[in-house]
Amino acid sequence: MTHATERCDVAIVGGGLVGTPLACALAELGLSVALVEAALPPPLAPESPLDIRVSAIAPASEAWLRALGVWQRMPETRLCAYRRMHVWDRGGAIDFDAATVPAERLGTIVENRLIQQAALEALGEHPRIRCYVPLRAKALGWSGERARLTLADGTVLEAALVVGADGADSGIRALAGIPSFGHDYDQWAIMTQVRTERPHDHTAWQRFLPDGPLAFLPLADGRCAIVWSCTTAIARAYMDLPDEAFLRALTDGSEGLLGTVLACGPRVSFPLRLVHAVRYVGERVVLVGDAAHLVHPLAGQGVNLGYQDAMALVTAIRQGRAQGRDAGESWVLGRYQRLRRAHNLLTAGSMDGFKYLFGNVNPVLSGLRNLGLAGVDRLGLVKRAIMRQAMGLNPDVPEVGKEG
């Protein structure tokens, strides 16, 4: 039996948080795009309860999603902007306030499924995008100036560029022969939603406990999303606790800053690891998002880094096209890698450093840490620089954040 061979400029494997808006951005450049996604979650109805998986989306990422017409498709009633962040541990605390940047918000807590759904709706209106959903990409080959991507139903996509946006266990990374390095954190993140005695006050609360950070992220319905990273053994024990005991552990863990934690929803947990691709590019292949780098969630940077990758890739392709180059030429891919890899490595390294410093009971390190929190809290300039970095307003990557 012969199978269809279809041509496009760019084939994106992975219609997750990063792949879907990237498809819109590339179509807006005038490119024909194929988006291949193995499995989509069921759609969220306007009245559906808030989904458990949420992300803190930085203002720079919001601006990009807005420019693509994705952000506006998400009902405002499901989004929760946060203006302040309170971070503390045994001996010190630091407060970040958007007003000092100045900005309206430090970020917005958004359901992952909502972003994906809004981006899928937006790309449905682009005549230049074809979706292959649900279909898995199976094999990768090359022929002349094209990559050949074979899908599970036998369809072959011939593309100038294949983008691996297929997550931390990226099959495209493996098929392109790109090695990765990393390590297991021996930590799991527990996520749930809770109702607290005191209002969240549009503030993200994060306490560094010796076993890992505990975050209370404000939700649009007045509850908080919990992201509690702890060692594998402790996470297992917390997952098995009856609700009442788990709520007590949350109240103690947060030192009652939001009052008593009154009720919680179902709990889910995720293993935490660091994965970083040795290269972000191969022959007519490029990696973006978690396929290129999986970082610790303690600073809520993962998908925001993915959006910066996507913006940088669009910039590199646009610049290449201005010189008559196609999207998969090594000039374009090299430029993309230069824009992103060092920056992402630095971020992944700082997350590792934070995790080590805050998880350490060595008195010298904990003294330094407390000095650090209290000291940074008094240094307005340093605080503003940290905030601008987390908000994606980073002057090191001038071309990122300006893409429409």
| Site of interaction with ligand FAD (CB under 6 A) | 13-19, 36-39, 55-56, 136-137, 165-167, 171, 189, 191, 227, 270, 289-290, 297, 300-304, 306
Toward ligand FAD, which CB reaches closer, 204 or 316?
204
Minimum distance between the CB of residue 136 and ligand FAD, rounded to whole angstroms? Answer: 4
Toward ligand FAD, which CB reaches closer, 158 or 309?
309
Backbone angles phi, psi at 233, to 5 degrees: -65, -45
Q: Which residue is nearest to ligand FAD (CB)?
A: 16
Minimum distance between the CB of residue 227 and ligand FAD, rounded to whole angstroms? Answer: 5
Toward ligand FAD, which CB reaches closer, 133 or 371?
133
Toward ligand FAD, which CB reaches closer, 14 or 401?
14
Toward ligand FAD, which CB reaches closer, 123 or 329?
123
d(CA 331, CA 98): 39
Minimum distance between the CB of residue 335 and ligand FAD, rounded to whole angstroms? Answer: 21
Minimum distance between the CB of residue 141 and ligand FAD, rounded to whole angstroms? Answer: 15
Minimum distance between the CB of residue 230 and ligand FAD, rounded to whole angstroms? Answer: 12
Toward ligand FAD, which CB reaches closer, 202 or 325?
202
* Packing angle, helices 363-378 and 380-390, rounded to 10: 100
Minimum distance between the CB of residue 111 and ligand FAD, rounded to whole angstroms? Answer: 11
Minimum distance between the CB of residue 164 and ligand FAD, rounded to whole angstroms? Answer: 9
Toward ligand FAD, which CB reaches closer, 16 or 253?
16
Toward ligand FAD, which CB reaches closer, 270 or 354?
270
Minimum distance between the CB of residue 328 and ligand FAD, rounded to whole angstroms? Answer: 19
Number of Cβ within 10 Å of residue 144's Cβ equals: 6
